A and B are shown apart, each in its own frame.
Chain A
Amino acid sequence: MSHAQRPLSPHLQIYKPQLTTVLSIVHRATGIALAAGTILLVWWLLAAAIGPDAFATAQAFWFSWIGRLMLFGWTWSLMYHLCNGLRHLAWDAGWGFELKQAYLSGWIVVTASVVLTVVAWVAGYAVRG
């Protein structure tokens, strides 16, 4: 029975990508990326708790080009997941389900995530001096 050749419903690749579907999968992808990022958040906290040498090692990693690249990716992932998460919470409350509203909120999320990422990094470099 389980091996019967039944017709299958078409999978994702048959559909034309749209803003709504792309933002949906990006929400999941950024969630997975942020989950990986928690390991480094915990490493940073532990390094601060352990002592100056451990903290210096962690700090050196974050300021390396690879560390900065990862941090930049996570900054955008966090901003996106936060903004799109708010969009999801609005939907859960029953707001913004019209197609036009869903597209408008989608573009707001994309714009806000980019602006917030840039603001965070400009502020970070300003603080560091």
Chain B
Amino acid sequence: MNEDTRLRTPLGRAVGLGSAKEGVAHWWAQRVTAVALVPLVIWFVIDIIALTGSPRGAVVAWLHAPFPAIATVLLLIAVFYHMALGLQVVIEDYVHSEWLKISAIVLNKLVAFALAAAGIFAVLRIAFQG
């Protein structure tokens, strides 16, 4: 590249975070969670269909086994991470008031954490206690 056409500072080039100041971290995490969710969602949907109309005992027995419990916890982590990233982009696109945008992004993250914690707690309680 010609020296005259380089508009970034040497530090900016070395850090490589671009004008958004956060590089591709958000974009990349969205893809990583998407890839993780493909097998997890397919597995979860099949198992949930198999449990259609089952009494609580069947659901408890299902989550009491190690594989479903671990896979469901992984699913919840990936789902809520993916959800928080996706909703953040929606907020950034449509909410133009700066303080409202930042508040919505913070609220989005807190709600995602809370739902993830509640879901994981439920799975672990069933897994350990039945």
Contact = CB atoms under 8 A, between A and B. Distances in A.
A48 B52 contact: no
Interface residues of A, number: 32
Interface of B: 31, 34-35, 37-38, 41-42, 45, 49-53, 56, 59-60, 63, 72, 79-80, 83, 86-87, 90, 115, 118-119, 121-123, 125-126
Contact of A42 (B50, B60, B63, B118): B118
Nearest to A89: B34
Most chain B beta-carbon neighbours within 10 Å: one of A39, A45, A129:
A45
Contacts of B118: 42, 45-46
Interface in A18-64: 28, 31-32, 34-35, 38-39, 41-42, 45-46, 48-49, 51-52, 55-56, 63
Given A49-B122, A85-B38, A120-B45, 20 more contacts: A31-B90, A32-B90, A38-B79, A38-B115, A38-B119, A45-B118, A45-B119, A45-B122, A46-B118, A48-B59, A48-B60, A49-B121, A49-B123, A78-B41, A88-B34, A124-B49, A124-B52, A127-B49, A127-B51, A128-B53
